[in-house]
Structure 1
Amino acid sequence: MTNFLIDKLKNTNSGNFFLMAGPCAIEGEDVAFRIAEKIVTITDKLQIPYIFKGSYRKANRSKGGSFTGIGDEKALKILEKIGKTFDVPTVTDIHESGEAAMAAAYVDVLQIPAFLCRQTDLLIAAAKTGKVVNVKKGQFLSAGSMKFAVEKIVESGNNRVVLTDRGNTFGYQDLIVDYRGLPEMQSFGVPVVMDCTHSLQQPNQSSGVTGGKPELIETIAKAAIAVGADGLFIETHPDPANAKSDGANMLHLDLLEELLVKLVKIRKAVI
């Protein structure tokens, strides 16, 4: 990891990967705090630097009536409270240029969704906040194409860039992960994260609700650590079946610790 990211994390000097994890969306304070407390306990024990993840609003939904959020300010204040309570950095998505400064007032990392990774105005607005900017690779792009996203942010005066792979479009209703992309994106001089849950989505279902293959989260995560990913992104929830967003591909919270224990062992074996 580069120095700027270490500064944003609890630096345990463990040589571990870092973890971005939390619910897909902020559904309310109680469940968000429950998730954060559990993950902080696990990552502290395993010496894994941790960033709490939660979307304050979901702008990209298949159906118009799908859950989008509990209100921007309310959700952002929950993210801010979690960061202060547990002394961890926080990350959330932004969708339009005008949201960058608003979200930056509450969180440490601004995330650019995969479908928006080519939006120049959005990247520049995020860069100008001075926050770390995590750009998700579009599932329609090659890993090599992401160098232009990095250039846009760096040329705007911000070298605090992270890239996250979340799979590549494979047909109409599936994604596939090409692990060659991780070292290719690392060659741009930025930390690279593997999104272990969104890469298992099955989009464009006839029901209008995205499907997924959460049983393969461990497979994706193990391979990413073996390849040398700097970090992992995992959406997790105590009751995925009833989560208000992306429940079909989230990891059950009770399974997280066992998975991370295995991944730490792999990390130690490959470094």
Structure 2
Amino acid sequence: MTDVLRYSAFTTDPAGGNPAGVVLDATGLDDGEMLAIAAEVGYSETAFVLPHEDPDSYRVRYFSPEVEVPFCGHATVATAVALDRVGTLTFHTPAGPVAVDTDGRTATLTSVPTSSTPVSADDLDRALAALGWRHDELDPRYPAHWASGGARHLVLAARTRQRLADLDYDFAGLRDLLTAHDALTAHLVFQREQDVFDARDPFPVGGVVEDAATGAAALAFGGYLRTTGHVTGDRRLTIHQGDDMGRPSVLQVDVRHDGDRVRVTGAAVRL
């Protein structure tokens, strides 16, 4: 029987954060077996660790209950803590190599190069229809983009916190739009303060209504802010996610104005 560890990431409280499964030795498991394990665990992602010839490196794959994904931030944080090592590790993921600095309780991930491109008018209309949002409920300072930091996400900014809080969306409609653009979640944000955002991430592509913390989307959002001119110097952001689900999560995001990689930091605790 495969041993699956369970951690919650981007929190120090087991009642908060986003749960992830971690298989520290996935040697011998094929794709179907990994997917079946992830489906049985039922979390938004389970990470499967495989050996690498470099002793400070690992191969890592990520499965949601329905599909394999190229990268997952919260499961990476959970894996780094579960490995119980201190120092800099490299996770070789389907999205590319990700540097992970860990002290055994927290982890800082450095993304692959980020990218961000505008959403077409037609796709924005489809996204808003699926979410039940109006155009005038969007924050005009933040244009709709497809953004990536290892996995692709739809970035939309709400004008009010109430709009973000009232999330009731067309699961199939949003899933189909995201899938058509090889995206995983809709990263819905509200700017609470200058460097503080609230976020929610529907994840219908993986068969999950909502993520409580989405490190991959936080990395993509950091790159989005740089691309859209909101980062003119080095900037540290705090993203609060999961509050509306009753699983508060905190993600610290560091963005450099002169680089295309973003860092996200979070803690993890065993469940």
For the aligned pair, the TM-score class normalised by the smaller chain equals 0.3 to 0.5
TM-score (norm 1): 0.35
TM-score (norm 2): 0.35
Whichever structure has more helix as a proportion of its residues is: 1
Higher relative contact order (CA 8 A, sep 6+): 2
